[in-house]
A and B are shown apart, each in its own frame.
Chain A
């Protein structure tokens, strides 16, 4: 959908200007030159050239200094003037622009933002604002769903857990039918030891749609483990037992078996723990960790000879460098980014012609040079 409305564009402009940043003084950066450079980066992006991300990073990081917050303020104003001009032509350009700034933020998240805190924050903030503005002024269910995915994608690469929680919450509110932001929200809570709120988010996920338990087995696993940590072990066991046996034999099933056995072992129900582990070893015969757990359980119930015998079976298993299940659990689900990406990537790509058109013919063709974008 392409919207062209001078009324909408003027509202958008005033929304941008209401961000309330104080005006810049005493910083020797030429706003006109900054606008030109930014338009050139956007032109590259509009032409479908992924080098635009590196160019944006190079441009912004050479402009914004962590030591001088005013540099961020000046750049912000220059970029918002360009964005306002472009959005005045077509509000749809907000989507690819949000994606561009997300990609710049992701660059800092992946490569480390030491010395680049201000510029990383700038890109995260701008990516979020553009998504919210798009939702607000296009104002359709489809725009809400797209804004939700834009924000969920941003949350899933966020390095700041407080910001990630806020973003997931927002993404969930914008598109309540999508359960993934709730899984993300719960994971952030869990990683911060806030099991009560994690349980609340995961229970909302289950209530949202009866199919969500099947769609998101990771959510069930996380719910069970958070319940166990809140001393609600019988409920945890009830959730984990079927998960440990459910096909296919996935990393979630492997962890469900490990954690179910752990709960049983901690409750000194060694025979039950042993039963869980032996059944799991039939499904995951190469799991060194399950084998070690079984050794521990056998030891705990006084069967030292048998424990030594099981330890010997590790010979056939050996190193297990591919078993990253426990590491994976300690991270945000890959599904979060992938799901958002499935929607966001084509949505951004489809709107590039609109972005090119809003820039006008000359700027849209700006070539890249050795030093950066031509200006």
Chain B
């Protein structure tokens, strides 16, 4: 994706974006937007600011590839031979702790319309007695792709950058205390983000009510997350699809945090389509289900009868489960903030496992993935698989 495309997507999500006062400004000088990247590649950034610069860190695909403490802020990095789009991000840190970032995505050489995504990234949460296990190393993990043992090429703990879309149901049933609590919770998520993380807020009902671009700027996010007049019905499918689709073009750890108090009513897209997109995009889906999701029962509308609504609901649960995320069921609005904060904490404590699949055929088929941990009494939660495009 070129920088132009990145800006276009930013516009899509960016209504009323606020430019925060920045003590530091940073711009990626190299690589150029749209430039195919192979082998040794120069990464360079231009930094200006009203305070001393402590360091400038470069990321590709959400992984740090190096940092420079003094000007010129540039380094050479071996990108390898994969023909894929690459998402670059640079973060400049000031001596006072302030920071600024810039990002761009380079295009692959276009051979056909297929995106080559051979590097598989899995995000695993390991639990023992409901407590997350945080002291594992690469040798503790075994990854199987369609039954074949895979060799890990990278292993990280949860401090990888994340791109999150906060998808907040702003329909009529959320009016009043609920939507206010939802916005407080979402702001708590934003407050917990680090400079290298980015998020977008999408507030939806049966229509898109307000949104922001994917940004690290909390001022931009908080402006939209301050107030919304809840109205209308609920189109979870349509906007979950949009969120997954928007994240698809980003590399690294991608997360959708959906907050909704009920099942979809008004979408044009069936959940089966969202499930398909979820399998392709490989984003984690967390669903904060207000009211324990109990509104699904025997629910009927002019769009779907109750049997179809129940089926849609079950497929939403399946999409969440398959993605490696989870459903956070809450019954009280006062638990919303801790639900958002808990998800962010969980993301921080995940293991990131990367491998090149030995069984990829780009045939559009489902690959079942399994992660085993060589430790007793533990349970692993990660995505169930992916579609091999």
Q: Give which listed residue, B115, B206, B209, contacts A304 with CB less than 8 A.
A: B115
Given A312-B8, A315-B11: A191 touches B209 (CB 8 Å cut-off) = no
Q: Give which listed residue, A191, A289, A320, A326, contacts B300 with CB less than 8 A.
A: A191
A310 → chain B, closest Cβ, in Å?
10
B172 — nearest CB in chain A belongs to which residue? Answer: A327
Binds B, one of A105-113, A162-170, A291-299: A291-299
Q: Give which listed residue, B115, B242, B268, contacts A258 with CB less than 8 A.
A: B268
> How far is B246's CA from A331's CA once the two chains are assembled, in angstroms?
31
Which residues between 275 and 324 of chain B lie within 8 Å of chain A, taking CB atoms? 276-277, 280, 300-303, 305-307
> For B306, what are the chain A residues with a Cβ–Cβ distance below 8 Å?
193
Which residues between 262 and 321 of chain A lie within 8 Å of chain B, taking CB atoms? 262, 266, 288-289, 292-293, 295-296, 299-300, 302-308, 311-321
Q: Residue B38 at the A interface, CB < 8 A?
A: no
B242, A292: Cβ atoms under 8 Å? yes
> For B110, what are the chain A residues with a Cβ–Cβ distance below 8 Å?
305
> How far is B235's CA from A193's CA once the two chains are assembled, in angstroms?
19
Q: Give which listed residue, A191, A222, A296, A331, contacts B273 with CB less than 8 A.
A: A296
Which residues between 191 and 239 of chain A lie within 8 Å of chain B, taking CB atoms? 191-193, 195, 222, 229
Q: Give which listed residue, B8, B15, B207, contacts A324 with CB less than 8 A.
A: B207
> For A258, what are the chain B residues with a Cβ–Cβ distance below 8 Å?
268
> How far is B328's CA from A346's CA once the two chains are assembled, in angstroms?
54
A251 → chain B, closest Cβ, in Å?
12
A326, B268: Cβ atoms under 8 Å? yes
Q: Give which listed residue, A293, A318, A323, A326, contacts B12 with CB less than 8 A.
A: A318
A303 — nearest CB in chain B belongs to which residue? Answer: B113
A114 → chain B, closest Cβ, in Å?
15
A327, B113: Cβ atoms under 8 Å? no
Q: Give which listed residue, B211, B265, B269, B277, contacts A319 with CB less than 8 A.
A: B211
Q: Residue B238 at the A interface, CB < 8 A?
A: yes
Given A312-B5, A312-B8: A295 touches B300 (CB 8 Å cut-off) = no
Q: Residue A190 at the B interface, CB < 8 A?
A: yes
B170 — nearest CB in chain A belongs to which residue? Answer: A321
B245, A295: Cβ atoms under 8 Å? yes
Which residues between 59 and 114 of chain A lie within 8 Å of chain B, taking CB atoms? none
A326, B211: Cβ atoms under 8 Å? no
> How far is B268's CA from A327's CA once the two chains are assembled, in angstroms?
11
A319, B210: Cβ atoms under 8 Å? yes
Secondary structure class of chain A's binding surface, majority of residues: helix
B5 — nearest CB in chain A belongs to which residue? Answer: A312
A324, B245: Cβ atoms under 8 Å? no
Given A296-B269, A315-B11, A330-B265: A321 touches B302 (CB 8 Å cut-off) = no
> For A302, what are the chain B residues with a Cβ–Cβ distance below 8 Å?
113
Q: Residue B389 at the A interface, CB < 8 A?
A: yes
B263 → chain A, closest Cβ, in Å?
13
A319 → chain B, closest Cβ, in Å?
5
Q: Residue A329 at the B interface, CB < 8 A?
A: yes
Q: Residue A178 at the B interface, CB < 8 A?
A: no
Residue in A191, A195, A259 with the greatest tally of chain B CB atoms within 10 Å: A191
B41 → chain A, closest Cβ, in Å?
23
> For A229, what are the chain B residues with a Cβ–Cβ distance below 8 Å?
305
Q: Give which listed residue, B7, B10, B209, B266, contacts A326 with CB less than 8 A.
A: B266
Q: Residue B325 at the A interface, CB < 8 A?
A: no
B235, A326: Cβ atoms under 8 Å? yes
A315, B12: Cβ atoms under 8 Å? yes
A261 — nearest CB in chain B belongs to which residue? Answer: B268
> How far is B268's CA from A295's CA once the two chains are assembled, in angstroms?
13
Q: Residue A148 at the B interface, CB < 8 A?
A: no
B9, A321: Cβ atoms under 8 Å? no
Q: Residue B114 at the A interface, CB < 8 A?
A: yes
A193, B300: Cβ atoms under 8 Å? yes
> How far is B15's CA from A187's CA once the two chains are assembled, in angstroms?
36
Q: Give which listed residue, B209, B246, B265, contacts A321 with CB less than 8 A.
A: B209
B202 — nearest CB in chain A belongs to which residue? Answer: A319
> For B238, what are the chain A residues with a Cβ–Cβ distance below 8 Å?
289, 292
A14 → chain B, closest Cβ, in Å?
42
Which residues between 314 and 344 of chain A lie within 8 Å of chain B, taking CB atoms? 314-324, 326-327, 329-331
Q: Residue B73 at the A interface, CB < 8 A?
A: no
A320, B245: Cβ atoms under 8 Å? no
Q: Residue B35 at the A interface, CB < 8 A?
A: no
A311 — nearest CB in chain B belongs to which residue? Answer: B245
A188 — nearest CB in chain B belongs to which residue? Answer: B302
B172 → chain A, closest Cβ, in Å?
9
> For B5, what are the chain A residues with a Cβ–Cβ distance below 8 Å?
308, 312
A117 → chain B, closest Cβ, in Å?
20
> For A327, what are the chain B residues with a Cβ–Cβ distance below 8 Å?
205-207, 232-233, 266
Q: Residue B249 at the A interface, CB < 8 A?
A: yes
Which residues between 245 and 282 of chain B lie within 8 Å of chain A, taking CB atoms? 245-246, 248-249, 265-270, 273, 276-277, 280
B265 — nearest CB in chain A belongs to which residue? Answer: A330
> For A314, what are the chain B residues with a Cβ–Cβ distance below 8 Å?
12
Q: Give which listed residue, B270, B302, B307, B389, contacts A191 with CB less than 8 A.
A: B302
Which residues between 31 and 67 of chain A lie within 8 Å of chain B, taking CB atoms? none
| Known contacts A299-B277, A319-B211, A330-B265, then 10 further A-B pairs from the complex at CB < 8 Å, ordered by chain A residue | A190-B302, A304-B389, A311-B245, A315-B12, A319-B207, A320-B207, A322-B207, A326-B235, A327-B232, A330-B302
**Footprint of B on A, CB under 8 Å?**
187, 190-193, 195, 222, 229, 258-259, 262, 266, 288-289, 292-293, 295-296, 299-300, 302-308, 311-324, 326-327, 329-331
Q: What are 25 residue pairs bridging A and B, where the CB atoms are less than 8 Å apart in the complex?
A: A191-B301, A193-B300, A193-B306, A195-B305, A258-B268, A292-B238, A296-B241, A303-B113, A308-B249, A311-B12, A315-B10, A315-B11, A318-B15, A319-B15, A319-B211, A320-B208, A321-B207, A321-B210, A323-B207, A324-B206, A326-B233, A327-B205, A327-B206, A327-B232, A330-B233
